[in-house]
Structure 1
């Protein structure tokens, strides 16, 4: 089969229980706001941390949502799709076409769990602290070196 199994889209059903923050993900797409060229489908834009979808772990950013509680999401405007999600009730069944490369039974990343990626904010914070430390060191050195000069 030469790896052709991995290129076929995988369709799965995912049952979620609405939590305090809803289902825990944002969507994009629709007839009026196509996310993928020539495709009016509804896609997962963002998984919210600690939301129902994140805790379940199967829904991923980039997945295409085909139906919610048996109602197909084809040929709907973005706002009509949002309304279906809002009125879906507490227990929600999603039919999802997983994005290519997503493996339900394994980690999404090849990186070991012990090697967490550095966030942009964390990197920026680290660089800011380093710059501040260097500035303080330079100012202290100047004061110290000025005090060591011989009077003329």
Structure 2
């Protein structure tokens, strides 16, 4: 089924120790920012090089995080999930569902937490749209534009 939530797989428990750069990964998802269609779960968007998660090696981009320190991440908005990660302490236990190896599921759109590329692309799209509207208005508002000249 294309674009739907991953099927149930066995969960994996991972313990990470927060480093100087935090846990070393970005998250996406939540009830207000679904990353996978029909699934409001929290997903790993990006593993930061030399971060705690990269050094451990088990957490992968696309993995679904089911719980952090025993707190289930179901039915949370994105900001509430971010706050749970920020307040989790130095030793963090994650319960994850590894991404399917042959997944046809895809994101609704990129929204990595702490990554400005998605907001920049949205900003660019708005600017392009406004520029197109401005050009169209300019063309149609010019004196004599597209008026039929009927010879007498």
Structure label with greater radius of gyration: 1
1:32-111 superposed matches below 5 A: 32-101=32-101
Q: What is the RMSD computed on CA atoms of the aligned residues? A: 1.4
- How far 1:9 sits from its partner (Å)? 1.6
TM-score by length of 2: 0.61
- How far 1:10 sits from its partner (Å)? 2.9
Distance, in Å, in 1 between the alignment partners of 2:58 and 2:34 is 24
Give the structure with the higher percent helix.
Answer: 1
Distance, in Å, in 2 between the alignment partners of 1:70 and 1:40 is 18
Secondary structure of the corresponding residue to residue 84 of structure 1? helix
The structure, 1 or 2, with the larger RCO (C-alpha pairs under 8 Å, 6+ apart) is 2
Q: Hey, what does 1:22 align to over in structure 2?
A: 22
Q: Number of paired residues?
A: 96
Q: Runs of at least 4 residues of structure 1 off by over 2 A?
A: none
TM-score by length of 1: 0.61
Secondary structure of the corresponding residue to residue 93 of structure 2? strand
Structure 1: segments with no counterpart, 5+ residues: 1-6, 103-152
- How far 1:8 sits from its partner (Å)? 6.0
Secondary structure of the corresponding residue to residue 43 of structure 2? strand
Compared with structure 1, are the counterparts of its residues 8 and 68 closer, same or farther at alpha carbon in structure 2 (3 Å cutoff)? closer
Distance, in Å, in 2 between the alignment partners of 1:72 and 1:66 is 6
Distance, in Å, in 1 between the alignment partners of 2:72 and 2:65 is 9
Structure 2: segments with no counterpart, 5+ residues: 1-6, 103-152
Distance, in Å, in 2 between the alignment partners of 1:89 and 1:53 is 15
